Amino acid sequence: MTSSSWWSWLTWSWPYPLLELGSTRALVETDLPDLPPRIQSSALSNSFEDAWNIERSKSKKPSLHRALLRHYWVSGMWWMHWVVAAEEAFRVFQAFALSRLIEHFMTSSSSDSSAEGWMWATMILSGSVANLFMHHIYYFFTWLYGMQYKNGAISQIYKKSLKMKAGQDVTGHVMSLTSNDSDRFMLASIFIPYLFWGPVEMLVVGSYGVYRLGPAFLVGYSMVIPFVFFQHKLSDKFKTVRSAVAAITDKRVALLGQAIVGVRLMKMSGWENSFSERITGLRAEEVKATWGGRKLNGYNEALFFCCNVVISAVIFTCKLFMDGGELTPSDVFLTMTLVNIVQFTMTKFFALGIQGVSELNVSLARIEAFLLTPDYTPPPVAEHNPGKPSIVLSDLTTHWLDDTSTPPALDGLNLVVEQNSLTCVLGPVGSGKSALLLALLREFEVAKGSVDVNGSVAYAAQQPFILSATVQENILFGKAWDKDKYDEICAAVGLDVDFKRLLDGDMTMIG
């Protein structure tokens, strides 16, 4: 891909060797070509993060909309606007060439030269070929740009989730942001340019139509405005529906995640039916809201398919009454072609642009709110003092999510843990065991009292985080492999014995 020639890019022949190989055997990862460095995940993540950090440094009220708009302009992605302009210009030129070709057929006799007819036919064909190349180039790169923003957003959401304080149950919210909200970049990136070039083309086509067909064209052509108006109103409804669906999806995914994590307790307690009813109820609400969006989409499509017929019929009727009943084949073909151009641009692409921007605005607001959530800032590690206790809590009061309006998670707690001692914390559910651990890790803001931890802290979570990878990759967790250190650590915790029981040793896939 990185070494493909300009001709292979122009003719889209660069993926054919890979497709041919895939038709003979199953593809493996090494068969895939390397991505250019600028569109690799690390580069996209850094680019998105830099744009957001620049916005945060410039404004007291940072806006993700403004950050991405600035990045869109600085990165040079706007060059695709000129491709749209050229494509639409060729479409209008084709309509002009078609009308002249039909006029040539109507006015020429058998003795006239056919050179003019061939000229107009060649221009129509040339315009189609030019549109073919520009259309696919445009869609490929705008889709690629949308994918870049999507990947950048997902990486920032993931990074942000690692910086958040414990106790914030954002699993369902994060899943919704990465799977649904980030996907809104795709539609918007393709059709946003039509929000500018659609009205421009509409004015050009209208002017040319009035010049060729007279005021009758303007009367019928003006009906494009109410069609676009109704689709704009439908797009506002899309925004409302999108917000409602996203909120319900967050709740459903969060509840489903809780059910999966606590499936053993749920089974032992006989809560299956209760969870099933709640999840089914949320899913029913989600489907109902989604169905409302599908109906709006159906109305939008109905307006699109009616537009050409209604506007053309009005233009033909006005032409007959205003021009004394004269309606030539040239007038008919020119009208149908011009209206068809505007039909696709204004009632399809322009409408999709409004819909894409409306949905993206909702998604960007949700992503922005998530990125603006306060980070967890670990306190500085105090130097170990052999003469002091390991832990001292004095009249400690903390609240879940640091919300002082809620009942305290710990209330006036006093605790001293001496060095070289083993301390166990016992108590029923909700008694504050987890809150105590989070307080020691400084995951809670201290509302009252103090926390004094002598030295550093090691924490082994009750539920381990396992990657879908090999045992070795889970142990290294992205760090460089040092054989001596790796063997020493595995032996210290007894994993070397476990490796011998596994068929592939530490290269066994888990997770």
Each residue's pLDDT tens digit, 273-284: 888 888 889 889
Name the pTM for this structure. 0.73
* Residues belonging to the chain: 511
Tokens of 398: 């903390």
Tokens of 90: 């060729």
Indicate if the pLDDT at residue 155 is higher than 90. Answer: yes
The half-sphere exposure of 183 on its side-chain side, counting CA atoms within 13 A, is 7
**Structure confidence at residue 271 (pLDDT):** 82
Q: Is the dihedral of CA 324, 329, 330, 332 positive or negative?
A: positive
Q: Is the dihedral of CA 479, 483, 489, 493 positive or negative?
A: positive
Indicate if the pLDDT at residue 89 is higher than 80. Answer: yes
pLDDT range class, residue 416, cuts 50, 70, 90: very high
Model confidence over 206-232: pLDDT tens digits? 888 888 888 888 888 888 888 888 877
**Structure confidence at residue 111 (pLDDT):** 57
pLDDT range class, residue 438, cuts 50, 70, 90: confident
List residues bridging with 408 in a β-sheet: 399
Q: Is the dihedral of CA 441, 445, 446, 447 positive or negative?
A: negative
* CA distances (Å), origin 115, targets 96, 122, 123, 333, 432: 17, 10, 12, 22, 91
The lowest-confidence range among 44-48, 238-242, 500-504, 507-511 is: 238-242
CB count, 10 Å around CB of 308? Answer: 16
Indicate if the pLDDT at residue 464 is higher than 80. Answer: no
The average confidence (pLDDT) of the chain is 85
* CA distances (Å), origin 130, targets 126, 138, 453, 482: 6, 12, 71, 57
Tokens of 427: 């108590």
